[in-house]
Amino acid sequence: MPISRAKISTLKPWDIALIGIPFDDHSSFLKGPSNAPPLIIEAIESDSANYFTEDLIDLEDHPNVCWLGNASLRDYFDIESIIAEILKRGAIPFSIGGDHSITYPILKAMSASYSNLSILHFDAHGDLYDSLDGNRHSHASPFARIMEEGLSQALIQVGIRTLNDHQQTQANKFGVKVIDMRNWSPDIELNLSGSVYLSFDMDVLDPAFAPGVSHHEPGGFTTREVLRMIQKLDLNIVGLDLVEYNPNRDLNGITAMTAAKIIKELLAKMLSLNKSF
Ligand code: MN
Ligand code: MN
């Protein structure tokens, strides 16, 4: 049996709803992430591996983990209403992107359900541009929109290694805590309280571990470092996304498999933290 299939209308409270967001219109450099979601689910269900997480939670046909398939989107702004529908069922949305621009409409829906949201953001890039190439919805800009609209009260970014003058100014303006890659250490504390949204850009990994991304930025995390951080998290996570897998750049599907592994460990974390299961 694979990962359970479901529709939004059949979601139960506290289900973790995996939903594909096949959208890359706001990618600045290369297209490709719109094709990512089903390929990542295929990797989770690959016969080359099993469904157990490292702490022995069996995700096969798990009653609280549901794959909703790709969202059908007429435009970018439909993302907000689809996430709002999932939240209305009391479920936890886990969006599989898509480029990083999707996090802004997702946060519009999240902030309507949760006040005092904080964001934990893994990325090689700050994605704080006021606009890029004249596009204020660029995948390089979602956190500028989120912070200026007050959709989140705090933003911590981990793994950043591409700051420039403009983005440093933006980070200061919005009070963003940037844990850049060169100052990161495994025992660093991620002090976040209240409800937390986790946004994971695949390019936070070193391109040696995840070549299937549009922007190769050397000097990033190993897969094991990321898994250790995930396994150590003790936060009230109420929504997640994993974005920027670009299958056109992948080598033998290794990045899809790495995305699958990270999703499995994030699901394990969610299932172990949520006392209502
Ligand atoms: Mn990003
Ligand atoms: Mn990035």
Predicted confidence (pLDDT) per residue in 67-114, tens digit: 999 999 999 999 999 999 999 999 999 999 999 999 999 999 999 999
Distance 269 CA to ligand 1 centre (A): 22
- Interaxial angle between packed helices 78-88 and 103-113, expressed in degrees from 0 to 180 and rounded to the nearest 10: 40
Query: Given a cut of 70, is residue 54 above it in pLDDT?
Result: yes
Query: Given a cut of 90, is residue 274 above it in pLDDT?
Result: no
Counting ligands in written order, the one closest to the CA of 199 is 1
Mean pLDDT, the chain, as a whole number? 96
Residue 276 pLDDT level (bands cut at 50, 70, 90) = low
CA distance 102 to 123: 14
Confidence (pLDDT) at 94: 98
% of the chain at pLDDT higher than 90: 95
Instruction: Give the Cβ contact number of residue 212 at 10 Å.
Output: 27
Confidence (pLDDT) at 273: 79
Domain boundaries, the chain: 4-273
Distance 6 CA to ligand 2 centre (A): 30
- Total residues belonging to the chain: 277
Counting ligands in written order, the one closest to the CA of 141 is 1
Query: What are the angstrom distances between the C-alpha of 161 and each of 33, 168, 217, 238?
Result: 21, 12, 8, 27
Q: What is the pTM of this model?
A: 0.97
Confidence (pLDDT) at 182: 96
Distance 58 CA to ligand 2 centre (A): 31
Confidence (pLDDT) at 246: 98
- pLDDT, tens digit, 9 for 90 and up, residues 203-235: 999 999 999 999 999 999 999 999 999 999 999
Query: Given a cut of 90, is residue 191 above it in pLDDT?
Result: no
Distance 123 CA to ligand 2 centre (A): 5
Query: Given a cut of 70, is residue 277 above it in pLDDT?
Result: no
Q: Which residues pair with 52 in a beta bridge?
A: 58
**Which residues neighbour 191 within 8 Å (Cβ) at sequence distance 6 or greater?**
none
Identify the CATH number of the domain defined by range 4-273.
3.40.800.10
- pLDDT, tens digit, 9 for 90 and up, residues 114-163: 999 999 999 999 999 999 999 999 999 999 999 999 999 999 999 999 99
Query: Given a cut of 60, is residue 275 above it in pLDDT?
Result: no
Distance, CA of 179 to chain centre: 17
Distance 139 CA to ligand 1 centre (A): 6
Query: Given a cut of 90, is residue 189 above it in pLDDT?
Result: no
Distance 25 CA to ligand 2 centre (A): 16
Confidence (pLDDT) at 123: 98
Q: Are strands 118-122 and 195-201 parallel, antiparallel or unpaired?
A: parallel
Q: What is the mean pLDDT of residues 23-52?
A: 97
